[in-house]
Amino acid sequence: MTVAQAKPNLLLGPQDPSPVEVINAASDHPLLLICEHAGKMVPKALNDLGIAQEDRDSHVGWDIGAEAVTRVVADSLGAPAIIQPYSRLVIDCNRPPDAADAIPEVSHGVQVPGNRGLSDMDRAARVREVFDPFQATVARLLGRQPRRIVLSIHSFTPVLSGAPRPWHVGFLFRRDVQTSTHLARFISDARPELNIGMNQPYRIDDASDWFVPRHGEASGLPHSLIEIRNDLIGDATGQQAWANILTGAVNRYLKEV
């Protein structure tokens, strides 16, 4: 076998977007925003992963509304934000790449034919061309300016497996309890009617999460993973409203903490 034959084909072609977008890259704002599940793009080589457009448009494919909220907060504050345009079904950038659900064959009951029977080379291409560049960009921007807080923005479904999830927003954390506690209190002060979950709708662990263990805790920076219920940010009005809520909480954090 020649070297040319042994070399794997590239996953991303010239018509595919970059695996990472940076907003306000040169900003020295003390906040860094991250949105791992911002997009629902699929590289052309993967033929839509064999799933229907309606499934890619649903929570199966991405975190509905999270990208828009992240962009509005970044624009409002002039803060840097790192956006992942590819669907979590290609590879989940908030999972260890060797996790069972990093490249899922089934997601929320939806079969993903394009993720079945992948070779080690197939998996390595997704890690090398999508996951690694995104995480390298996060690490670079974390260290470039004197950051004071880093937030990862996500969204969650109102119901999971028939069980209602009543929280309007949740803060996920592990060792850094104080950052999430401060932000939750600031939001509650401004909007006391909101149901705020602490480590809801799920909890962080090393086996299934990446941002908190590998960027937040590893950097030593104050951090939180924020989950907003996706029926609240499904349109521009809700996205603007929640961006305003988060912007207010961040500004108060930077002023008082």
CA–CA gap between residue 213 and residue 45 (Å, rounded):
32
Cα separations in angstroms, 182 against 59, 186, 243, 254: 29, 6, 17, 11
Going from N- to C-terminal start, the domains of the chain cover 3-256
Distance of CA 196 to the CA centre of its chain: 19
Sequence-ordered alpha helix ranges (H) in 12-131: 53-57, 66-77, 120-126
Strand partners for 135: none
Show Cβ contacts of residue 6 under 8 Å, excluding neighbours closer than 6 positions: none
Element (H, E) at 196: strand 196-198
Q: Using CA atoms in the order 198, 202, 207, 211, what is the torsion angle rounded to 10 degrees?
A: -60
Tokens 């999972």 belong to 95
- Tens of pLDDT along the chain (257 residues)? 344 444 455 799 999 999 999 999 999 999 999 999 999 999 999 999 999 999 999 999 999 999 999 999 999 999 999 999 999 999 999 999 999 899 999 999 999 999 999 999 999 999 999 999 999 999 999 988 789 999 999 999 999 999 999 999 999 999 999 999 999 999 999 999 999 999 999 999 999 999 999 999 999 999 999 999 999 999 999 999 999 999 999 999 999 99
Angstrom distance (rounded) from CA 74 to CA 19: 19
CATH number of this structure's domain 3-256? 3.40.630.40
Q: Are 11 and 125 in contact (CB under 8 A)?
A: yes
